[in-house]
Chains A and B, each alone.
Chain A
Amino acid sequence: MVKVVDMGDYIIEMLNITKKFPGVVANDNITLKLKRGEIHALLGENGAGKSTLMSVLFGLYQPDSGEIRKNGQVVKINNPNDANALGIGMVHQHFKLVEIFTVLENIILGVEPSKMGFIQKNEARKKVMELSEKYGLRVDPDAYIEDITVGMQQRVEILKMLYRDNEILIFDEPTAVLTPQEIRELLQIMKGFAREGKSILFITHKLNEIMEVADRCTVLRKGKLIGTVNVKDTTKEELSRMMVGRDISFSVNKKEKKPGKVVLSVRNLNVVSKIHGKNVVKNVSFDVRAGEIVCIAGIDGNGQTEIVNAITGLEKPTSGKIMLNGHDITRASIRERSIRGMSHIPEDRHKHGLVLDYKLEENLVLQRYWQPEFQNRGFIKFDSVRKYAEKLIEKFDIRSGQGPVTIVRSMSGGNQQKAIIAREIDKDHDLLIAVQPTRGLDIGAIEYVHKQLVERRDAGKAVLLVSLELDEVMDISDRILVIYGGEIVGELNPKTTTMEELGLYMSGAKRDVVKEINDAGEE
């Protein structure tokens, strides 16, 4: 069912692009045509070849065959500088900013206006402020990147493109790191660009966003072009079918389940931030029972990360008590917590979850390599490791180029996350802590993660979920704890509450007197 809508004036044409990597054809004869002034979504699961295709356009990879045309002329893009010269700019999923430079310095990096070797910052500042005002991209030009929010960092990346007078803007999963409010704002800004006549390529797997802003959508699956459709003639269901190749259930099937005994209990927890020395978790108390999914919901940066770090042992709490299965683990080592039955799917899978330069099999035993099953007098039993890895790869459907010996860095984000989930779920545990487990994943993988979490709950495990996605919070949790400013401001039942009410709690507009509930429940 290849549908192609083809007419009008194209600013960029990528014709029959093929790009192979060892063991995989990342782009197989793909054609993508971008009209002037349109927002063109590029949809596909992780590993479908979206990023490769955009890297070809941006000059990071050379295609094995096929050609790129701009305004009908064949062009050769050997590196990002060539792309820049052609007016192509890109906001990468992982921002490329110098942390210790200011916003202004980052924007002009590489194209600094100078006189006799001296940077003319005032000139640059004027241009940046003009752009910032014109498009509503609020930034503080003198703030350092390491001090500003992710949303503002993204605005800096966008300003970088505008400062270079780019007319073709590539956004690689721009909303993955943003809060709902920031997403709304970004989509408005993108619409503004399109009205100005700029052409936008929007890589995403969030169907709602495509329906909201995109004019046309090109769908890739497993390196192949599935089709290009007009967004106003299609539906979410059709797009997801094109993307995944089968029907996707948007809601989670969950049986009724009565919670059992208390597995994790947190009392009067206070954590002082390592970064700015302020108290970011204030007197937080809650319980998680066996067979329930408790979700901590809130806007990013309200203390969720610190609560989890204190529970998992990555950060020391200043006061309070954490009990796991009746044992006080407030000061226990990370290894002890793990042995006592804690599994942890970390927020940042690249920073904490994986050793990217290790093989897949080495990563799959990261929590267990020291156990008798995998070692003999200090020597690792590599044959057991291999067997175990093969078992997990099979069971959890982890896909990679070379199986157990694949270097994890070369795997797609979704499969990296699957590897972490496989490792943490297969390990003996009573409590599973999952922090934004679906961040940056596509629909197929999100469905998979949700299924696994619910399965854990049904298997009688306690699950603590931290999430910024409201849909996810409402769909899979049994209880919602809303956090605002480091305090739990409300406990909600997803069956009886609404998105709007949840939003009010999350933004701090509404709060319950939760402390008394906790004190009453403590005896």
Chain B
Amino acid sequence: MQERNSLLNKTKFNLKDITDNSVFSSFLSALLAIFLGLIFGFIVMLVAAPANALTGFRLIVLGGFRRIGDVFYFATPILMTGLSVGFAFKMGLFNIGASGQYTMGMFFALYVGFMWDLPDSIHWIVACIAGFIGGMLWGIIPGLFKALLNVNEVITSIMFNYIGMYLVDMLIQGNSVMYVSDKTRTRYLPAEVQIPSLGIPNSNVNLGIILAIIIGIILYIVLQKTIFGYELKATGYNRFASEYAGMKGKRNIIITMAIAGGLSGLGGAFAILAPSAIAGSSMTYEPINIIAANGFNGIAVALLGNAHPIGTIFSAVFISHIQRGGTLASLVGYKPEIIDVVIAVIIYFSAFSMIMNSAFIGFIKRYFGKGKKDFDDNMDNEIKEAE
């Protein structure tokens, strides 16, 4: 009898174990939030142009699968800025300066790409490292202000978005090696400075996405397994307790902002050093006084991924997927602005995942959990009868 019970227990599908698992529940709630977002996105499309709504919506949702290479290509920079924002967020810092760090990283990478004469095999690697350093510089300054003078990092990093953008525009326009003034953009980078392509036809996807995913995994390990991650999260959860425990809060703020900046900078480097599918060309930078959108998209990516590095990888791919699908929707007559609105609606609702989390799990527990109990009771009765 006892044996049979223990066997039964082994084979029982225990719903509670799953619903109590926080990773599972946040993943599920993200999915649910996305689903809601899609419904509202569809409603917007219905209002804008009812005739083509279904075709257009199908393109938005599924179109990305047709261009899977591009999905990953465009996911690379927002994955890096997303990791950057999420990492700082774990420490309780809001790194809204990802755009500025991204732009600085881009400039440093460009500068090394054009101005330094290096062996082909390591040129792009050095350019990437330069991008990391550029972003790090732009992250460390708000970090220093925060740690030493207690200036709110949100204010400084917003201002550093502008300072970085104008500074880079000025430096590029003033550099005749890099800048083609009649085309108002930088020259094409030589092919050997570009990041190796992954060889998917008609796509720019390159080694950058692999590196970005590896970096995401490394960040996960740092946060979960190391002393630095332990201190960082403790500080983010409770600054006073971390101080009480003798952690060096100021040093950790500076290091965190430096790493966060570096990640965004690397995103900029990955973006500008990406190979182009058109022979002889490359990515270029246009100094036209616009703050890089990829920085702000990183905030959405990080929020959707719950600031969790692995979650951020998935959310970056998802947002890129929706954006790729969106560009296809213009084929059936949707204006780019409407598509942007739809994408924004989807992302906006996706950010509700936090709220979904508790509500939805509660729902499952209440209804399915009860059903399961009845089922177990029946099983028990059957066993009794067998006796």
Contact = CB atoms under 8 A, between A and B. Distances in A.
Given A344-B244, A352-B244, A380 B234 contact: no
B238 A369 contact: no
B16 to A, nearest CB: 8
A389 to B, nearest CB: 14
Interface stretch (B110-118, B224-232, B270-278, B329-337): B224-232
Interface stretch (A127-135, A280-288, A330-338): A330-338
Interface in A371-405: 375, 378-380, 382
Contacts of B242: 355
Interface residue SS majority, chain B: helix
B237 A355 contact: yes
A108 interface: no
A379 B241 contact: no
Interface in A344-383: 344, 346, 351-358, 362, 366-367, 369-370, 375, 378-380, 382
B238 A355 contact: yes
B227 A367 contact: no
B376 interface: no
Interface string A94-135: 000000000000000000000000000000000000000000
Interface string A313-354: 010000000000000000001111110000010100001111
Contact of B245 (A22, A367, A380): A367
B332 to A, nearest CB: 47
A474 to B, nearest CB: 29
Given A22-B20, A358-B234, A375 B244 contact: no
B225 A379 contact: yes
B241 A369 contact: no
B375 interface: no
Contact of B241 (A354, A375, A382): A354
Interface string B341-354: 00000000000000
A370 B227 contact: yes
Interface in B221-268: 225-228, 230, 233-234, 237-238, 240-248
Interface in A267-316: 312, 314
A336 B248 CA distance: 12
Contacts of B233: 358
Nearest to B19: A22
- A333, A353, A366, A382 pick with most chain B CB within 10 angstroms: A366
Contacts of A338: 246
Contacts of A366: 234, 241, 245
Contacts of B234: 355, 358, 362, 366
Contacts of B20: 22
A380 B247 CA distance: 15
B246 A380 contact: no
Contact of B246 (A333, A355, A357, A362): A333
30 contacts: A22-B16, A22-B20, A312-B244, A314-B243, A314-B244, A334-B244, A334-B246, A335-B247, A337-B246, A346-B244, A351-B241, A352-B240, A352-B241, A355-B237, A355-B238, A355-B241, A356-B237, A358-B233, A362-B230, A366-B234, A367-B245, A370-B227, A375-B227, A378-B226, A378-B228, A379-B226, A379-B227, A380-B225, A380-B230, A382-B225
Given A22-B20, A356-B237, 4 more contacts: A355-B242, A366-B234, A366-B241, A378-B226
Interface of A: 22, 312, 314, 333-338, 344, 346, 351-358, 362, 366-367, 369-370, 375, 378-380, 382
